[in-house]
Amino acid sequence: MHIVFAASECVPFAKTGGLADVVGALPPELVKLGHEVTVYLPLYAGVKAHIKAPIEGEWPYAVRSITVPFEYYNRFVGIVDGGRRGGVQYYFVDCPEFFDRPGLYGTKDGDYPNNWERFGLFCRAVLEATKILGVPQVFHVHDWQAALIPVYLRTIYSLDPMFQHSGTLLTVHNAGYQGWFPPNTTERLLLPWDLFTMDKVEQFDVFNFLKGGLVFSDMLTTVSRKYAEEIQTAEFGEKLEGTLHARAADLVGILNGVDYTQWDPATDGNLAAHFGPDDLAGKQQCRVDLLHAFGFEKVAEKTAVIGIVSRFAAQKGFDFVAQIADKLVERDVVVVALGTGEPVFERFFRDWAFRNESQVAVQIRYDEALAHKVEAGSDMFLMPSRYEPCGLNQIYSLKYGTVPVVRATGGLDDTIEEWNPKLGTGTGFKFEGLNAWGLLDAIDRALGAFKDKKSWKKLMLNGMARDYEWAQPAREYARVYDQVAKRRG
């Protein structure tokens, strides 16, 4: 089967979040299953370093010019051939005035005001390019930036014979990002006004890209089984719960995989020592190295090291951490935190560390190598997210023998099993509800378990034995593609 991926991010070309990891990792796994996969991405400024031009200064165009019409004008784009990697063909939509910019979606001052035009153009360019480079059986589109592809296919392209048997699958990576724009976006994109109704693309008098994709796609997926349930509720649905509930029969939760070539303590080049389930000695060296990197010396073995690597935001549950901060440092713990985010939480971490310099240290930045050190050197990893569609750090933690303490939501709930000391089963500690004291209770349970080194080792090994490679999710996606293709005959 030929599958076309359309997305705004993909490693190693462009990344702001987990979307890029999925679009980078899933296609090669599908190729291993015998599928033909093509990935379309915008040609951002940062992408150009990844493309080799056969002639100095000249892009390797697969298509020189495609016309994309708007209300009062046309835009012209090229399709750059990014070559094959891991059996996957990559193409890039070249429109310098739209994509040759410092940021993918905006600047520190906010989103680009013409994102409706940028990603409307991207979606239509992908459709036109496939008519020349290969029409697939399934368009797999990701998040709001590509969600107009199913809308276009079932409206202004509905009579195009080349797409009569092309189905669509939309993956929602985070329902909080939807692509909201003014009502006149409808006519600016040359879409009929009868689309701007509450059962199609309109929501509270705005044009909603993601809602359009939810309504017009043949099937829908999201990035964990629990999140597929949660987004059908008012708490997590971001005002799209009604639309999602109406499509419940077509919505499938498929947990993201991880790339163990990058995240494996037995081979990780960022670590002071390597280790694995058969020999855990190196983890102690990683612990010492981590503490040194954060300015701690001579921390007792009985003191638990709690690690945090995150975007500092309310969504990630750091308001819970702030509420219990003073109580937490009454315990025998050291906390190391790495990340950036909302100013209020950056200030909280700085102040917490200043007031408790013997127990708390923070680095307000993102450093990939240091993130690996936190995963390897911590005893516990904290993820108290208010919502988490999938989450990857808790899965990395399991592999590194670092016990996750998480809120029971989304992919966190799907991947972490509560520790049962009597049975010796489980991989971490969870708390329910939106209560900071529930978080503190989960940490206390973890600290209680940490005192029994024999049980703690069993808990670590349980986590290290879990396998979240991409092979299984790829098979699940392949089954969904089969369903989509059957619907379109």
User: How many domains does one find in the chain?
Assistant: 2
pLDDT tens over the chain, length 489 residues: 999 999 999 999 999 888 999 999 999 999 999 999 999 999 999 898 888 766 656 789 999 999 999 989 999 999 999 999 999 999 999 999 999 998 999 988 899 999 999 999 999 999 999 999 999 999 999 999 999 999 999 999 999 999 999 999 999 999 999 999 999 999 999 999 999 999 999 999 999 999 999 999 999 999 999 999 999 999 999 999 999 999 999 999 999 999 899 999 999 999 999 999 999 999 999 999 999 999 998 899 999 999 999 999 999 999 999 999 999 999 999 999 999 999 999 999 999 999 999 999 999 998 999 999 999 999 999 999 999 999 999 999 999 999 999 999 999 999 999 999 999 999 999 999 999 999 999 999 999 999 999 999 999 999 999 999 999 999 999 999 999 999 997
Residue 353 within any structural domain of the chain: yes
Looking at the structure, do residues 59 and 160 belong to the same domain, yes or no?
yes
Looking at the structure, do residues 187 and 305 belong to the same domain, yes or no?
no
Looking at the structure, do residues 400 and 434 belong to the same domain, yes or no?
yes
List the CATH number of the domain containing 318.
3.40.50.2000
Q: Report which of 350, 340, 428 is spatially closest to residue 384, judged by C-alpha positions.
A: 428
pLDDT of residue 55: 62
Residue 365 within any structural domain of the chain: yes
Looking at the structure, do residues 431 and 483 belong to the same domain, yes or no?
no
Q: How many residues does the chain have?
A: 489
* Per-residue pLDDT tens over the stretch 148-193: 999 999 999 999 999 999 999 999 999 999 999 999 999 999 999 9
Looking at the structure, do residues 221 and 308 belong to the same domain, yes or no?
no
Looking at the structure, do residues 25 and 109 belong to the same domain, yes or no?
yes
Looking at the structure, do residues 350 and 214 belong to the same domain, yes or no?
no
Q: In 10 A of CB 471, how many CB atoms?
A: 12
Q: What's this model's pTM, rounded to 2 decimal places?
A: 0.93
Residue 235 within any structural domain of the chain: yes
Residue 273 within any structural domain of the chain: no
* Per-residue pLDDT tens over the stretch 282-314: 999 999 999 999 999 889 999 999 999 999 999
Residue 133 within any structural domain of the chain: yes
pLDDT of residue 108: 82
Name, in order, each residue with C-beta under 8 angstroms of 375's C-beta and a sequence gap of 6 or more.
263, 307, 309, 381, 393, 396, 397, 400, 402
Looking at the structure, do residues 125 and 251 belong to the same domain, yes or no?
yes
Residue 253 within any structural domain of the chain: yes
Residue 291 within any structural domain of the chain: yes
pLDDT of residue 57: 61
Work out the widest C-alpha separation in the chain, in whole angstroms: 72
Percent of the chain with pLDDT over 90: 93
Looking at the structure, do residues 460 and 367 belong to the same domain, yes or no?
yes
Q: Which domain holds residue 53?
A: 2-257+471-487
Looking at the structure, do residues 232 and 372 belong to the same domain, yes or no?
no
Q: Any bridge partners for residue 170, and if so which?
A: 141, 220
Say what angle helices 436-450 and 453-464 make with each other, to 10 degrees: 110
Looking at the structure, do residues 117 and 187 belong to the same domain, yes or no?
yes
Residue 217 within any structural domain of the chain: yes
Rounded distance between C-alpha atoms, residue 347 and residue 334, angstroms: 19
Looking at the structure, do residues 289 and 351 belong to the same domain, yes or no?
yes
Q: Report which of 76, 80, 111 is spatially closest to residue 95, judged by C-alpha positions.
A: 76
